[in-house]
C-alpha cells in the first residue's frame, strides 16, 4: 500500500489547516467584492451628480430644449453687428534715429581754454561751445600776413621796372631779352603773392578754428574733455556729441508684401499717420507721419526698411530707443463689425452663432472674415447689420440650441415649474384635505367661508367637536 495516500489521515493538523485556508479565501473574496462595489458606487456618484432642485422642471419647459430633448438652456453673452469704419494698421518694432548726429572734434591742436556748454543742453547751430588757446595761431597769421606784404612790394617794384624796360625798348635803347626777363620776374612774383594770400587765409582759418562752434542744432551729450587738456582733431571721443532730437525719425521694417502698397500711397501724396508706443504698448509717446521707404529688400529677413518722422516736441523719444510703431495704412469705411470673441473657426471655416430672438435659439452661420483690430473684426459677408451674435458661452452651443439672454429672467420659468408641481400634487390626492385636515385648515375655512362654499354654522359645529375630542384626549 502507498504510504502517501495514508499521510493525510495520519496528520492531526491537516483538518484545521484546511478550514483556516477556506476561511481566509472567503474573507479575501468578500474584501475584493466590497472593494469593487465601493469603486463602482463612487464612479457612479462622480458621473451622475445630484440634479439641482429645479433642474427637472427647467428641462421640461420649452425654453430648456437646447436642441436636445431635456437639455438645459445656456446663458450666453450677445452683441449686435454694427456698421463702422475700421482703420487698418501696420505694427512693427522700430528704432529711434536722429536726423543728424555729430561728434564735435577740434580742427586744430591746442590747449582747451574754455568750455561754454552744459551737459544735456539744447544748442543752436553756430553757438560757441569751447575755445582753444589761440596765441600760436595769431602769430602764424601775422607771419603769413607779413610775408604777403613783402612779396606784394617786390611785385610792385618788378612791374615798374618792366614798364621802364618797355619804354626803352620802344626807343631801341635796350635789348628785347632784358624786357622778356623782367616780364617773367613779374609773373613769378604774382604767383608768390597768391601763395602768400593762401597761407594768410589758412592762418586766419586756424585762428577761427580755435573757437569750437556747434555744427547743428540739437542736444549736447556728456562732456568728454575738461579745461586744460590738449586736444586735437585726431581725438576719438572729441569734445561732445550733438544729436538732433526735434524732429526725429523712427526706422522700422515693413514686410515686402506691403512695400508696394506703401510706395503707391506715398507717391499719391497720401499722409499715413504713425504713432510711436512705449514698450508696453499702453502709452503713445508721439504722433507723426510716414516719411520714406528704402530702395531694396533685405534678403535675410524679407523686409524693407521704412522711416517715420515725429516732431518730438515733448522730447519723449530718445536716439537709439526701441519703440512700437503703429502705422495707419488705410480706413475701411461702412464695414459690418462684431467683437473678436464672436468669430469662431471650425472645419468648414469661420462661423458665428446668430440669435433668433423670438425663439431664443441660435443658428450657426458661415461668414467670411476681414480686417481685425484689437477688439473688433470685419465680417465681409454672411452677416447683416442689427443681427445679434453670441460672444460668450459659445463653447457649449450647437446649431439650434436654446439660450438664455442676459435680459431674460429665469424666475418666471421657475415659478411656472413650481405651479405645475403643486397642481399635479393636488390632483393626485383629491381627498387629502378632507380626510386629514391640518391646523391651518379651520383658520382658512373660517377666514374665507364664501370661497369654499361651506356654511358658517357647519364650520362652527366642526370646531366644537374638534375641541371636545381634544379635551377628552387630554
Residues 6+ positions from 388 with CB-CB distance below 8 Å:
78, 79, 80, 81, 354, 355, 357
Q: Are residues 253 and 315 in the same domain?
A: yes
The model's pTM is 0.56
Domain presence at residue 426: no
User: Mean pLDDT throughout 336-340?
Assistant: 89
Give the domain extent around 226: 100-107+114-130+218-243
Domain presence at residue 437: no
Q: Are residues 296 and 272 in the same domain?
A: yes
| 235: exposed, middle or buried (Cβ count in 10 Å: 0-12, 13-18, 19+) | middle
Cα distance between residue 66 and residue 195, in whole Å? 104
Cα distance between residue 216 and residue 219, in whole Å? 9
Domain presence at residue 374: yes
Q: Are residues 122 and 166 in the same domain?
A: no
- Count of structural domains within the chain: 5
Residue 360 scores a pLDDT above 90 = no
User: For cell 462622480, what's the residue?
Assistant: 46
Choose the final residue of a domain: 382, 404, 426.
Answer: 404
Domain presence at residue 450: no
Which tops the pLDDT comparison, 261 or 303? 303
- 197-253 confidence digits (pLDDT tens): 999 999 999 999 999 999 999 999 998 889 999 999 888 888 999 999 999 999 999
Cα distance between residue 465 and residue 457, in whole Å? 13
Q: Are residues 120 and 237 in the same domain?
A: yes
% of the chain with per-residue pLDDT over 70: 77
> Could you tell me where the DSSP H helices lie in 217-321?
259-267
pLDDT at 16: 66
CATH at residue 395: 2.40.420.20
Amino acid at each position: 500500500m502507498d504510504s502517501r495516500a495514508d499521510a493525510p489521515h495520519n496528520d492531526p493538523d491537516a483538518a484545521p489547516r484546511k478550514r483556516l485556508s477556506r476561511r481566509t479565501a472567503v474573507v479575501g473574496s468578500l474584501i475584493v467584492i466590497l472593494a469593487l462595489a465601493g469603486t463602482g458606487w463612487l464612479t457612479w456618484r462622480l458621473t451622475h451628480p445630484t440634479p439641482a432642485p429645479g433642474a427637472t422642471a427647467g428641462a421640461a419647459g420649452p425654453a430648456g430644449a437646447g436642441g436636445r430633448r431635456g437639455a438645459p438652456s445656456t446663458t450666453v453673452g450677445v452683441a449686435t453687428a454694427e456698421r463702422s469704419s475700421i482703420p487698418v494698421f501696420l505694427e512693427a518694432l522700430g528704432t529711434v534715429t536722429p536726423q543728424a548726429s555729430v561728434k564735435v572734434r577740434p580742427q586744430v591742436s591746442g590747449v582747451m581754454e574754455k568750455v561754454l556748454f552744459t551737459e544735456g543742453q539744447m544748442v543752436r547751430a553756430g553757438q560757441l561751445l569751447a575755445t582753444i588757446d589761440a596765441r600760436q595761431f595769431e602769430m602764424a597769421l601775422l607771419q603769413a600776413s607779413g610775408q604777403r606784404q613783402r612779396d606784394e612790394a617786390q611785385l610792385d617794384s618788378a612791374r615798374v621796372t618792366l614798364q621802364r624796360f618797355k619804354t626803352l625798348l620802344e626807343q631801341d635803347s635796350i635789348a628785347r631779352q632784358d624786357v622778356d626777363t623782367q616780364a617773367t620776374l613779374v609773373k613769378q612774383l604774382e604767383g608768390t603773392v597768391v601763395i602768400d594770400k593762401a597761407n594768410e587765409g589758412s592762418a586766419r582759418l586756424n585762428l577761427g578754428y580755435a573757437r569750437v562752434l556747434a555744427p547743428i542744432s540739437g542736444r549736447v551729450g556728456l562732456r568728454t574733455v575738461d579745461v586744460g587738456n590738449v586736444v586735437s582733431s585726431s581725438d576719438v571721443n572729441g569734445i561732445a556729441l550733438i544729436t538732433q532730437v526735434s524732429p526725429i525719425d523712427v526706422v522700422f521694417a515693413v514686410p515686402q508684401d506691403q512695400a508696394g502698397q506703401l510706395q503707391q500711397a506715398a507717391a499719391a501724396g497720401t499722409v499715413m499717420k504713425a504713432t510711436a508706443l512705449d514698450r508696453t504698448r499702453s502709452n503713445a509717446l508721439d504722433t507723426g507721419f510716414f516719411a520714406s521707404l528704402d530702395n531694396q529688400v533685405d534678403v535675410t529677413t524679407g523686409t524693407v526698411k521704412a522711416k517715420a518722422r515725429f516732431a518730438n516736441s515733448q522730447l519723449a523719444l530718445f536716439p537709439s530707443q526701441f519703440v512700437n510703431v503703429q502705422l495707419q495704412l488705410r480706413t475701411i469705411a461702412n464695414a459690418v463689425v462684431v467683437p473678436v470673441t464672436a468669430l469662431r473657426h471650425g472645419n468648414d471655416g469661420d462661423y458665428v452663432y446668430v440669435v433668433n430672438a423670438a425663439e431664443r435659439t441660435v443658428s450657426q452661420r458661415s461668414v467670411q472674415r476681414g480686417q481685425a483690430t484689437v477688439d473688433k473684426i470685419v465680417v465681409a459677408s454672411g452677416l447683416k447689420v442689427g443681427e445679434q451674435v453670441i460672444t460668450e458661452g459659445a463653447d457649449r452651443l450647437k446649431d439650434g440650441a436654446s439660450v438664455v439672454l442676459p435680459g431674460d429672467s429665469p424666475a418666471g420659468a421657475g415659478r411656472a415649474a413650481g405651479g405645475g408641481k403643486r397642481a399635479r400634487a393636488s390632483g393626485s390626492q383629491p381627498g387629502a384635505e378632507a380626510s386629514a385636515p391640518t391646523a391651518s385648515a379651520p383658520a382658512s375655512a373660517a377666514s374665507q367661508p364664501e370661497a369654499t362654499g361651506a356654511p358658517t354654522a357647519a364650520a362652527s359645529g366642526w370646531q366644537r367637536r374638534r375641541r371636545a375630542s381634544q379635551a377628552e384626549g387630554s
